Amino acid sequence: MSALSVCSIALLAGCDSKQENIREDAAENKADAMEEKADMTRDSGEKKADAIEDQADKMPDPTADAMENKADAVRTEAERKADATEEAADVVREAPDTN
């Protein structure tokens, strides 16, 4: 193998590595954005549930109990959505290189 061939192979390997780094960085950025979305989903659900609980505090017991249940359901659903988003972020982050 000539010195030129060795250099060419080394250059090509270096390019692939650079492209791979770009893809990995893009995947990492996408996953980070997805995790931020999950955090916002949790925060939003918590605020909605807190607002429902604040209203429940002003209601008679049967209505207050129903509103407390609704607040719990809002929290549970927000947590479910946030968990699903985080799982999707993990898939993006751990996805094998396709090239």
- Residues 54-97: pLDDT tens digits? 999 999 999 999 999 999 999 999 999 999 999 999 999 998 76
Total-model pTM: 0.76
Q: What is the mean pLDDT of residues 15-33?
A: 90
Q: What is the mean pLDDT of residues 9-24?
A: 72
Q: What is the mean pLDDT of residues 13-26?
A: 81
Average pLDDT, whole number, for the chain?
88
Cα dihedral 29, 46, 71, 77, rounded to 10, equals 10
Kindly report the backbone phi and psi dihedral angles of residue 59, in degrees, each rounded to the nearest multiple of 5, phi listed first: -105, 160
